[in-house]
Chains A and B, each alone.
Chain A
Amino acid sequence: AAGVIQSPRHLIKEKRETATLKCYPIPRHDTVYWYQQGPGQDPQFLISFYEKMQSDKGSIPDRFSAQQFSDYHSELNMSSLELGDSALYFCASSPGTGSSYNSPLHFGNGTRLTVT
């Protein structure tokens, strides 16, 4: 079965640079979530989109922005990168029409961002 695809798998950037992470949800999933997982930490919710509109916002820094496109893929744009942004960034998707018990999140394998 098709899964959530994230690219790139690994990314190395220097401080103050920008980075763009991409997420391709499971076909027919119209809701996308972004999570940040720091080293040894639990995943923290950043932001979500449903039908190309922002549906919820978590602890996403102002330096980050995201959007969902007409084909439902999503991109997380990160500017003025800081050392503390080094983390594993997960994207998850779900069909957004149901409630939690019908549509649990399906996670991608993540993008590991290292800021030097």
Chain B
Amino acid sequence: AQSVTQLGSHVSVSEGALVLLRCNYSSSVPPYLFWYVQYPNQGLQLLLKYTSAATLVKGINGFEAEFKKSETSFHLTKPSAHMSDAAEYFCAVSPYYGGSQGNLIFGKGTKLSVKP
């Protein structure tokens, strides 16, 4: 079975500071990993995805994530936080390897606050 664990349900940073949101995965097969962002009262928007190509994945809004197999991690980072980054972030793993996409298994989410 596959799962993701997000460390820290709330993270608070100052504007301009580094953002680091942690995600560890458990998978018996090479995983497909995703980060989604959810703004209040909105749907989930894909930030970036890892699909066994480059281990450093760049996404939208200046975010990136690095797949580290040895650490089973896929942490999300952004060098400089902006007020507009305040949202909830979900790490997700796809339980299907190859073939057609199956459903996503989400972590519990990390709420990011950005202080002025």
Contact = CB atoms under 8 A, between A and B. Distances in A.
A99 interface: yes
Interface size, A (range): 20 to 34
B109 to A, nearest CB: 5
B102 interface: yes
A109 B42 contact: yes
Give the interface residue-count category, chain B. Answer: 20 to 34
Interface stretch (A12-20, A61-69, A70-78, A100-108): A100-108
Nearest to B101: A100
A115 B49 CA distance: 35
Contacts of B104: 43, 45, 105
A94 B107 contact: no
Interface in B22-53: 32, 34, 36, 41-46, 49, 51-53
Q: Secondary structure at chain B's binding surface: helix, strand, loop or mixed?
A: loop
A108 B98 CA distance: 25
Interface of A: 4, 31, 33, 41-45, 48, 50, 55-56, 58, 90, 92, 94, 96-101, 103-110, 112
Contact of B103 (A58, A101, A103): A58
